[in-house]
Amino acid sequence: MTQSQGAMAIERLCRLAGVSRSGYYRFWQKSAPRRHDTAVRDAIQRLAVANGRHRGYRYISHQLRREEGLIVNHKCVLRLMRADNLLCLRKRPFVPCTTDSRHDWEVVPNLARDLRLTAPDQLWVADITYVHLLEEFAYLAIVLDAYSRLVVGWAIADHLRASLAVAALNMALDARRPAWGSLIHHSDRGVQYACADYSERLKAQGIAASMSRVGNPYDNAKAESFIKTLKTEEVDGTLYRDHQEAARCIGTFIEEIYNKQRLHSALGYRPPAEFEALHQPTWPGGGSAAREAELRAAPAQYPA
């Protein structure tokens, strides 16, 4: 109205339009900020695109003042940039690689796909992840029972050598002592799991090795799910001084909270230890010495 009123007074225009003067001014006060936002938004878009979306909202606020003559609060710039998806592109933080599948060791087929589990110690899944420390990284290897989601073995070290994965496997073997020939061990194709030290340890215990398909994280989804839970509920937001402190804190979380207290939706909202206690092995012999001797005498049913 202000642009087209000419010499006519606001009061006369309001009378012709059938609105009160106070109503017109209320509408004008509400619409003025929208027009201001439109002008600022247009300037922000030009500056953000010209900078390749590598400048933050505070930088853009100063550019608006210097180059466009617009004095805008940085919070308003942040709001408009967020609404238009113009916030600066952040550099991805460094994430150490824990899986090296470029090796000459034997890669075994996936035996765990579509496997139906009926009891514990039929399928173990293993994986390795990194943990942020104060000035470096530590690495955590875990072995998980796929039936009960119980972490049966774990180890932390400041390196990614095969001994890390072997230490987690040894903990699982000492704690569970699975019957000969009754267990499949599934992992990714990383060199720690494909090397001779690890594969020979599996063969010595009558455990069949299994590995994920290339580039398919879903083959090891249960191990990945545990690692996500660990990062979300324990590791993220915690700064460990060294890998010894990380081992103490993460070990307490695994043994006392995750295994014994944390309710798992896939287990009917029971902790893994409680769920496992309700579903003891039901195969003939129940993992007894006689059954183990029988399985040892039988021909091996897993890849050599």
* Residue 217 confidence (pLDDT): 67
Q: Flag whether 237 is in a domain.
A: yes
pLDDT of 301 over the 70 cut: no
How many distinct structural domains can be found in the chain? 2
Task: Give me the torsion for CA of 265, 267, 273, 274, rounded to 10°.
Answer: 100
Residue 284 reports pLDDT greater than 50: no
What domain range is 71 assigned to?
10-83
| Co-location of 277 and 128 in the same domain | yes
Statement to judge: residues 278 and 177 lie in one domain = yes
Rg (CA), the chain: 31
Cα–Cα distance measured from residue 28 to residue 176, given in angstroms and rounded to the nearest whole number: 76
Residues 142 and 209 reside in one and the same domain: yes
Among candidate residues 59, 83, 107, the one where a domain is terminated: 83
Q: Looking at residue 251, what is its pLDDT?
A: 95
- pLDDT digit string (tens) for 192-248? 898 999 999 999 999 999 998 776 667 789 999 999 999 988 988 788 988 899 999
Whether residues 145 and 65 fall in one domain:
no
Instruction: Calculate what percentage of the chain has a pLDDT beyond 90.
Output: 36
> pLDDT band at 136, cuts 50/70/90?
confident
Is residue 79 domain-shared with residue 127, that is, in the same domain?
Answer: no
Q: How confident is the model over 235-262, as pLDDT tens digits?
A: 887 889 888 999 999 999 999 999 999 8
Residue 135 has pLDDT above 70, yes or no: yes
CA angle at 229 for the pair 226 and 230, rounded to the nearest 5°: 85
> Could you tell me which residue, 39 or 131, shows the higher pLDDT?
131
Q: Last residue of a domain, which of 83, 101, 131?
A: 83
Q: Which of 33, 66, 83 lies at the terminal end of a domain, its last residue?
A: 83
Residue 112 lies in a domain: no
Residue 106 counted as domain residue: no
Give this prediction's pTM. 0.63
> Based on the domain organization, do 135 and 253 belong to the same domain?
yes
Specify if 178 maps to a domain: yes
Residue 217 covered by a domain: yes
**Within a domain: residue 262?**
yes
Contact residues for 64 (Cβ-Cβ < 8 A; gap 6+) = 40, 43, 44, 47, 70, 71, 72, 77
In a domain, 177, yes or no: yes
Residue 222 domain-assigned (yes or no) = yes
Residue 242: give its domain's CATH number: 3.30.420.10
25 and 171, same domain (yes or no) = no
Same domain, 273 and 149: yes
Q: Say if residues 169 and 153 touch (Cβ distance below 8 Å).
A: yes
* Whether residue 259 sits in one domain with residue 140: yes
Which pLDDT value is given to residue 120?
Answer: 92
Q: What is the pLDDT of residue 197?
A: 92
In this structure, are 160 and 253 located in the same domain?
Answer: yes
Same structural domain for residues 71 and 161?
Answer: no
- Same domain, yes or no: 260 and 175: yes
